[in-house]
Structure 1
Amino acid sequence: MLSEPTYLPARIVAPEIEAHFKKHQSEAQNIPDSNVATAPDEHIIEVVIDTAFWASMRREEGRSPNISLALLQPSQSDKPLIFGEKLRLTTQNLIKLAPAVEQPGIHLGVWPDGDDLFIWGTTHSVPAICFVLEVIEPGLLVIKHRRVDGFGKFVNVAVLQGDQIKVLDEATMGVADCQQLLKSLANMPLPSYMGESFNVLVQLATSMRQHKRGGLVLMVPAGTSKWKESIVQPIKYPVIPAYGSIDELMALTEQERKKLEWQESLLEAIDLIGGFTAVDGATIITDKYDLLAFGAKAARSETSMPVGQIIMTEPVADGKAVRMHPAQSGGSRHLAAAQFVSDQHDAVALVASQDGQFTVFAWSVELNMVHAHRIDVLLL
């Protein structure tokens, strides 16, 4: 018998998550040749979240578990590893199995049998729109699913941290009640959910967060030089000629991509740029993702005024826009990003904090101020 969940946020969020998966799985069924997962029901979702949460609060040999659970049958996986005997989905079993499945990309396969839930084995592959729950750290859970095309980072659906619930708002990015904010979001290279086969920003942001040193990326229009007015000269580490591998790979036709390991090559090029963001200073790229410089020092333009206020939003349901001084949004990188965008209205700034926060800064013409949009909930 399924045990009665005791983690209250699991019960609160389960109906909304069930509706999300049923909606997207229904839409994905119309895509030719797509392998789509079976939609989980509300009570199954609730039990999986509850069990994973209490497992995350336990320690085995002094270490907290890092686990990924996927709701699917073995037949929906490619080359699954199947246990000789299924194990009940319990906190204790998750703790014991955690050391074997800590490597990225490995999921514990979970599926109901009769009136209980069981761990049947492990898998590296999951079908499209498959419910995946990842234990990031004690008390921090992320619910996500694989994109229909199968490439790029998983799509985050909800983030639960202790008693906090953040359900992502994929339609309006949390600013449905403000048309001015919606318009300024259009100037940001934000991650898409289902519309694009690959999103460079998602992978670049993920790469920036992985080195855990924080980073600042200034994205400027290709073929312009006005941005140099807001950079201390001379630039210490210019890249000449600009490193343009990402743009070259993205421009390849479908046939050309099949002739080489396109996905791996693209990830390597993005990770290369992500690595340079660990160097002290700003990394400068064009809106075509060409690397121009790294280790640059951003400074207020001689003709500009110090930025005094920004507006902050987050892509979660029922989110509220907040006006604040840029220093309240973070440290020196956030202040530098806000000032750069205030000076260079056609630029975008990306800031990764050491604590994992990730914020996109862009100029809002409608509001006549800098708009900062925190997207770390999309990247966990």
Structure 2
Amino acid sequence: MPTPRSIFSTWRADLPASIVVFLVALPLCLGVALASGAPLFAGVISGMVGGIVIGILSKAPLSVSGPAAGLTVIVLAAIESLPSYQVFLLAVVLGGVLQLAFSFTRAGILAEFVPSSVITGMLAAIGLILILKQIPHAVGYDRESEGIFEFTTADGINTFARVWDSLTGSLTPGAVIIALVSLTFLFWWDAARPKEGVLKFVPGPLVVVIIGVVGNILLGLLKPEWQLGTQHLVQVPIVDGLSKFPSLFTFPDFSAIGSAAVWTTAATLAIVASLESLLSVKAVDEIDPRRRTTDKNWELMAQGGGNIVAGMIGGLPVTSVIVRSSANVDSGAESKLSTILHGFWLLLSVALIPAVLNLIPLSALA
């Protein structure tokens, strides 16, 4: 039975980690939704479901789930080919049901056949992709949305060309200043954070976000031409009043349940999402400092339950996501409490303070 001391220790580690994961997850949720051709709020819904629902159901201590960049091509094609977004949501629900079936047939054992070298290579590749994709945002070249990880995007420009263009001809002074100050602070904070007292609980990325918001306001006062405009900031959907918040949710159209196209989409989503989740969870287990092992069949059940809930309220398909999960591990999380809390932060922030979130520069997040 957990002691009060152990519970306090877990909260002390998981609370700041959840804030870091929230700051990582928010722009990614919006970016994946945009790249998938879905409503922006659909990505946020999936982030909330991945944190709260899957966080509660899953036995994975450090894995974080949400909308996945790896599914954007499949989701975009499905949304364009199916009669309506509501019909696509039905496919997401059915995909979740199929994942439950995978769990009952113990398909999670497939993850154990993946060599550790593949996991190591995947983690290294994701790290490189993240660095390359964030360089343009750090210098204000925000022509590609956060959360888009394809090498060649719809406009025909590949990752290396975009990085080169951003560094040679599209520098935004305000974004560069905010990014450099943010990076400098993060490196300094890692080395100088106090070992005792209240400050040791303060996550560096949260301070960086505050620096970014305040810094952009100061730029507007001191040098207005360098102040970052809307295109360089987070863009969360805003409704007029909390009472209209439920109107952002969408529900599936069950009248299309007999459609072969719906079932084909559901099967595709279930297979790809399950494989991505299994690989991600296996990778997170390998970087877990305590080397805990997740029950893969139970994880398929949790992912299936999450996708059923996401489809029922208007969200995109959900998987375990290595980007958010690795941020969770690096931030010192100890249990799945961090995952659950980050889902609540997403819910509370978009419901109560969307206008404040829209003040955050992408260069600070980068």
Q: Shorter chain as normaliser: what TM range?
A: under 0.3
Normalised to the residue count of structure 2, the TM-score between the two structures is 0.24
The answer to which structure, 1 or 2, has the higher relative contact order (CA under 8 A, 6+ apart) is: 2
- Structure having the higher strand fraction is 1
Larger Rg: 1
